[in-house]
Amino acid sequence: MRAVVQRVEDCSVTVEGRVTGRIDRGLLVYLGVGQGDGQEDLAYVADKVSHLRIFPDAQGKMNLSVADLGLSILVVSQFTLYGDARNGRRPSYSSAAEPQKARELYLRLIQELRSRGFTVGEGEFAASMEVSYRNIGPITILLDSRKLL
């Protein structure tokens, strides 16, 4: 499972003119689900997103997480995180999970984060979305549950 995590001042997702998710200060998480991903991958990403210390403390040091500050999270599905552009000019997405499995894990991540007490906004799975945000820092972190070493 791959995630691009961005520290944002505000963020929203719109599908066909309809806002599907909106948060104020917190994290924007683009989530890609790969073939073979399961509960362990989901637990890894949920834990990292919840406790990633990328918000400043009183001294300005990045030492606080969304959990520490009670902030929100917006999760957007993005299979293109599994795009492989090493050969040719058109990326291959053969490492991405099948849509049914990806949707299941995407929704389970949202549910897991909500069960941890977070307010979670969401995109719309498999839709063409417009994502608007202000990345503060900018701070952008890449997570990959398969690259633990």
pLDDT in tens, 61-115: 999 999 999 999 999 999 999 999 999 999 999 999 999 999 999 999 999 999 9
The model's confidence at residue 121, banded by pLDDT at 50, 70 and 90, is very high
The predicted pLDDT at position 85 comes to: 94
The predicted pLDDT at position 147 comes to: 86
Give catalytic residues, as residue numbers.
Answer: 78-80
Average pLDDT over residues 45-61: 97
- What are the residue boundaries of the structural domains of the chain, listed by start? 2-144
Residue 148 has pLDDT above 70, yes or no: no
Tokens of 144: 């990959």
The predicted pLDDT at position 57 comes to: 97
Q: What is the CATH number of domain 2-144?
A: 3.50.80.10
Residue 149 has pLDDT above 70, yes or no: no
Check: CB of residue 52 under 8 Å from CB of residue 73. Answer: no
Residue 16 has pLDDT above 70, yes or no: yes
The percentage of the chain sitting over the pLDDT mark of 90, rounded to a whole number, equals 98
Residue 131 pairs with which residues in a beta bridge? 13
Note the pTM of the prediction, 2 decimals.
0.96
Q: What is the dihedral of CA 121, 124, 127, 129, to 10 degrees?
A: -10
- The CA radius of gyration of the chain, in Å to the nearest whole number, is 15
